[in-house]
Amino acid sequence: MDRRFRWPLALVAVLTVTLHLAGPARAAEPTVQPAVDGILAAFATHPLVGLADRHDLANALAFYATLVRDPRFATEVGNVVAEFGASQHQAILDRYLAGKDVSYAEIAKVWRDTVAWSPTVLGVGYQTFFAQVRAVNLTLAPERRIRVLLTEPPIQWSRIRTKDEWQRIYDTREPHGADQIVRKILDQKKKALVIYGGAHFYPYPWPSIWPLPSGGTANLAEIVARTHPDAFYFVSVYGGHGKPECSTALEAEMKWPAGVLITPVRGTSLERTLLRPECTPPYEWLDPAIPAEESARLKKRLYEMDMGVAGDALLYLAPAAELVNTPVDPTTWMDEAYRKELERRIRVRGNRPLSFAELIPLAATPPRRWTP
C-alpha cells in the first residue's frame, strides 16, 4: 500500500473518534477514518460504492491504485466499473488484466475509443490504473483476480459521420451503464467499486431550456435504484473551493490529515461549514438564458455536489493547494494519424479542435495545479 495512506495504529484510533465541530445546534457529527478502511467498510452494507471521479485529478487516480492494491479489495470486492474505457474493447482489457501479452496499440483502444470523453481519455493516470490492476492480478490466482467492467455504450467511430449519429449513442450512456451494472454485478450478487463522474450519481434540477436526452434525465444511479434501491454508497472527492481563500479557511478549521474518509456529511454541522454562502462559485459557464429561479436551484445543487455534501461520505486526499492534474499522454498527439482522427471526432461533435500549439502546454511538466 502507498505509504501516504498508512498510519500508526495510535493515530487511527484518534482519528476514528467523533469530530466535534462548532455550531449553535447539536447536529449529528461526522467521523474521520483512513480512507481505504472506510471505503471497504461501506461494502459491508452496500454492494456498490460509487466513487465520484474528478476527471484528471492525479491525487484521486493515485488513490484508486492504492485501493485496488490493498489485499482486502480483491477478496472482499473484486470488481471495478470504470467510466474511462470503451466497452467494445472489453475483451482486450480482459486479456491485458489477465497478464497476457497485449501491444500498446491494442490496449490504447480501451481509452481512445470512448463515446463521451472530450476528445478522448487523455490523462496517463487512467492508463496507469489499468496497469496497477494488472500488476495486482499477476500475484493472484485466476479465480481471485480483479475484474474491470467497461460500461460506456459501444461506438464504432469509423462509421460516425454526423453529430446526430454520435448524439444518438451518447444519449444512451445512462441506461446502458445502469443495465450493465444491474445484469453483470447486482443480479449476480457481486460487489463493485463504480468510478464515474459525480453527475452520474447525484440528481440535479434539469433546466427547462436544455434539450432532453433521448433516454430522459435520469442518471445512472437513479436508473439502478429503480430495481435495486439503496444499492449505492456515494463517495465524493474533495477538490477545494473555486476561491482559494475559502479552501484555506476550511482546511485550517478542519485540520484533516491526508487520505481520510469523512462520514456522514449531509445533515451534520460539517455540511454548513462546507457550504459557506460567501464561497459559492459563480458557475459562469451556465447558459445565461436559464430562468433565474431554475439557475439558482441548479447552482445550489452544483455547489452541494462540488463540496461533497451530495454524497454519503467525503474523501479528503490533500489540501486544495496540493491537488494536481494528471499529465496528458503525449503519445496521443505524437501519433499524427490518431491526432487527425481526434480532430475529426471533435468537429463531428460540433466543437473546434485545439491546434497543436495549444495542445503542447497540456502535456507540460511539472503537473498543473488542479482547478475546481
pLDDT, one tens digit per residue, over 351-362 is: 888 777 777 666
- Give the CA angle between residues 314, 317, 320 to the nearest 5°: 95
Return the pLDDT at 27: 53
More confident residue, 2 or 269: 269
Residue 14 scores a pLDDT above 60: no
Residues 6+ apart with CB under 8 A from 103: none
- Strand stretches in the chain, DSSP E: 31-34, 48-53, 79-86, 147-152, 192-197, 232-237, 260-263, 313-316
Question: Is 101 domain-assigned?
Answer: yes
- The answer to whether 110 and 86 have CB atoms below 8 angstroms apart is yes
Tell me what the mean pLDDT of segment 340-353 comes to. 90
Pick the residue with more confidence: 5 or 313? 313
Give the per-residue pLDDT at 3: 41
Least confidently predicted of 4-18, 64-78, 222-236 = 4-18
For the chain, give the number of residues: 372
Residue 290 has pLDDT above 90, yes or no: yes
- What's the mean pLDDT in 174-183? 97
pLDDT at 20 (0 to 100):
41
Of the two residues 284 and 333, the one the predictor is more confident about is 284
**Per the domain annotation, does 356 fall within a domain?**
no
Choice among 10-19, 51-60, 69-78 with the minimum mean pLDDT:
10-19
Are the CB atoms for 327 and 363 separated by under 8 Å?
yes
Residue type, 366: P
What confidence score (pLDDT) does residue 126 get? 97
CA–CA gap between residue 369 and residue 186 (Å, rounded): 38
Q: Does residue 336 lie in a domain region?
A: no
The answer to whether position 63 is within a domain reads yes
* Main-chain phi, psi angles of 358, to 5 degrees: -75, -25
Whether residue 334 lies inside any domain: the answer is no
Nearest one of 371, 141, 137 to 242, comparing CA atoms: 371
**What whole-number distance in Å separates Cα of residue 270 and Cα of residue 48?**
25
Least confident of 37-46, 118-127, 243-252: 118-127
Q: Is it the case that residue 1 has pLDDT exceeding 80?
A: no
CA distances from 15 to 2, 76, 233, 309, 323 (A): 19, 24, 21, 21, 22
pLDDT at 22: 40
Secondary structure of 213-251 as H, E, C letters: CCCCCCCHHHHHHHHCCCCEEEEEECCCCCCHHHHHHHH
Backbone angles phi, psi at 53, to 5 degrees: -75, 125
- For 158, the domain range is 3-325
Residue 352, pLDDT score: 85
Q: What is the pLDDT of residue 11?
A: 41
Please list, in sequence order, all residues whose beta carbon lies within 8 angstroms of the beta carbon of residue 47, skipping any fewer than 6 positions away: 185, 186, 189, 190, 191, 192, 228, 231
On whether the CB atoms of residues 262 and 316 are closer than 8 A, the answer is yes
What is the average per-residue pLDDT within 304-314?
A: 95
pLDDT of residue 363: 63
Asked whether residue 261 is domain-assigned, the answer is yes
Asked if pLDDT for residue 15 goes beyond 90, the answer is no
- Average pLDDT over every residue of 225-254: 96
- Predicted confidence at residue 168, as pLDDT, reads 94
Name the residue among 298, 143, 287, 316 with its Cα closest to residue 205. 298
C-alpha cell at position 230: 439503496
User: Is 341 inside any structural domain?
Assistant: no
Burial tier of 252 (Cβ tally within 10 Å: 0-12, 13-18, 19+):
exposed
Number of structural domains found in the chain: 1
What distance, in Å, lies between the first and last C-alpha atoms of the chain?
Answer: 28
Q: Among the ranges 120-129, 131-140, 279-288, which has the highest mean pLDDT value?
A: 131-140
Report which of 59, 35, 123, 51 is spatially closest to residue 369, judged by C-alpha positions. Answer: 59
* Integer Rg of the chain from CA: 21
pLDDT at residue number 204? 87
Residues whose CB is less than 8 angstroms from the CB of residue 369 and which lie 6 or more positions away in sequence, other chains included: 321, 323, 324, 325
- What is the structure's pLDDT at 272? 92
Position 120 scores a pLDDT of: 86
Q: Does 18 have pLDDT greater than 90? A: no
pLDDT digits 0-9 by tens, 138-167 = 999 999 999 999 999 999 999 999 999 999
pLDDT computed for residue 371 by the predictor: 76
346 within some domain: no
Is residue 34's pLDDT more than 90?
A: yes
